[in-house]
Amino acid sequence: MPRIRASTEESAPLRGWTLVSLRPAGAHAGLRNAARRAGAESLALSPLRLVALDARPALQAALACAAVIFSSPAAVRFAARQHPLQDLARALAVGAGTAAALRRAGVTEVLAPSRMDSEGLLALPALAGVAGHAVGLVTAPGGRGLIAATLAARGARLVRAEVYRREPAAIPAARIDRLARADIARTALAISSGEALDAAWTQLPDPLRVRLRQALFVVASARLADATRNVGGRHIAVAGSARPRALVDALGAWVLDARSDAIR
């Protein structure tokens, strides 16, 4: 990936910062653009790649349920390749990014929680009275286990359609070398997936892992803050969601607070 130049505007709040994206291969553009608009450079490390799964019979069954949950923007994208979604009257999304993907796919009514995680989704009134009803879940293998377990405990029958899977991907040595040369005091890792964090962390050499524990981790939820602490992260900023703008805004707020503390 070509090096991203920082903004030439003196007011760029993140000038001199490097934002590390751990999104799957081919999914870095949104975070890269949001970082560039704030004056930061970006570095793409893809420890995972997404692979389509043929789930047409299961997908049709899931979409026929009165309540249909999509677990991620990728779930929307891979589902739409196999079955049109514009005829779906209503869908539930884990977060704002998934909700936006559903609207782009033509879904008329999309419900998403203000707290953009599994707990927030499960608190929606639409999922309160599901006992004896079928609930569709369009997702990938693994992950979001809380949704399935909670719905089962509420008496729902879960109809699961796994439309893609995550596979490990080797991070190029040149990208790891570039990360090792970065100024850790001005490096932030954007974390929107615990699985991606784990997959990336295992590929980094021990000395780099030690240094990165002093970097800033910008995480998409409180749950991911806990995952970051598990790998030794000490400086954590929690964003409002996993959307690129939210992650960059959280970094900007953290930098502003740090500057204010320094002035005091």
What pLDDT score does 9 carry? 41
Is residue 8, in this structure, part of any structural domain at all? no
- The conformation of residue 87, written as its DSSP 8-state character, comes to T
User: Given pLDDT bands bounded at 50, 70 and 90, which one contains residue 144?
Assistant: low
One domain, residues 251 and 212: yes
Residue finishing a domain among 113, 142, 166: 166
What pLDDT score does 259 carry? 67
Per-residue tokens: 3: 């090096």
What pLDDT score does 199 carry? 95
H or E element in which residue 43 lies: strand 41-44
Is residue 64, in this structure, part of any structural domain at all? yes
In angstroms, the CA 57 to CA 261 distance is 57
Is residue 11, in this structure, part of any structural domain at all? no
Is residue 4, in this structure, part of any structural domain at all? no
In angstroms, the CA 211 to CA 235 distance is 12
Q: What is the mean pLDDT of residues 132-141?
A: 95
pLDDT at 93 over 70: yes
In angstroms, the CA 243 to CA 133 distance is 32
Q: Supply angle C-alpha 122, 123, 127, rounded to 5.
A: 60
H or E element in which residue 19 lies: strand 18-21
Residue finishing a domain among 166, 193, 215: 166
pLDDT at 264 over 70: no
Long-range Cβ pairs for the range 229-237 (8 Å, 24+): 231/197, 231/198, 231/201, 237/188
Is residue 122, in this structure, part of any structural domain at all? yes
pLDDT at 129 over 50: yes
One domain, residues 242 and 184: yes
Q: Tens of pLDDT along 166-179?
A: 999 999 999 999 99
One domain, residues 60 and 138: yes
| Residues found in the chain | 264
Beta strands in 84-242 (DSSP E): 90-93, 109-111, 134-139, 157-162, 164-168, 187-191, 216-219, 235-238
Is residue 256, in this structure, part of any structural domain at all? yes
One domain, residues 22 and 97: no
Positive or negative, the CA dihedral 73, 76, 81, 85 is: negative
One domain, residues 159 and 183: no
Q: What's the chain's average pLDDT? A: 91
pLDDT at 2 over 70: no
What pLDDT score does 117 carry? 80
One domain, residues 158 and 54: yes
One domain, residues 92 and 74: yes
Q: Tens of pLDDT along 66-88?
A: 899 999 999 999 999 999 999 89
One domain, residues 105 and 193: no
Is residue 73, in this structure, part of any structural domain at all? yes
Residue finishing a domain among 166, 181, 197: 166
Of 188, 185, 231, 174, which is closest to residue 31 (Cα–Cα)? 188
One domain, residues 111 and 37: no
**Residue 179's CATH number:** 3.40.50.10090
Q: What is the mean pLDDT of residues 113-135?
A: 90
Name residue 159's beta-bridge partners. 136
Decide: 73 and 112 in contact? Cβ < 8 Å.
no
One domain, residues 173 and 43: yes
One domain, residues 61 and 89: yes
Domain that holds residue 209: 18-47+169-263
Decide: 140 and 165 in contact? Cβ < 8 Å.
yes
What pLDDT score does 58 carry? 97
Residue 129, amino acid: G
Of 169, 107, 167, which is closest to residue 138 (Cα–Cα)? 107
What pLDDT score does 5 carry? 44
Quote the number of domains for the chain. 2
| Per-position b or e across 138-175, b if 16+ CB within 10 A of its CB | bbbeebbeebbebbeebebebbbbbbbebeebebeeeb
Per-residue tokens: 7: 């903004």
Q: Tens of pLDDT along 182-221?
A: 999 999 999 999 999 999 999 999 999 999 999 999 999 8
pLDDT at 8 over 70: no
pLDDT at 137 over 90: yes
What pLDDT score does 261 carry? 62
One domain, residues 56 and 160: yes
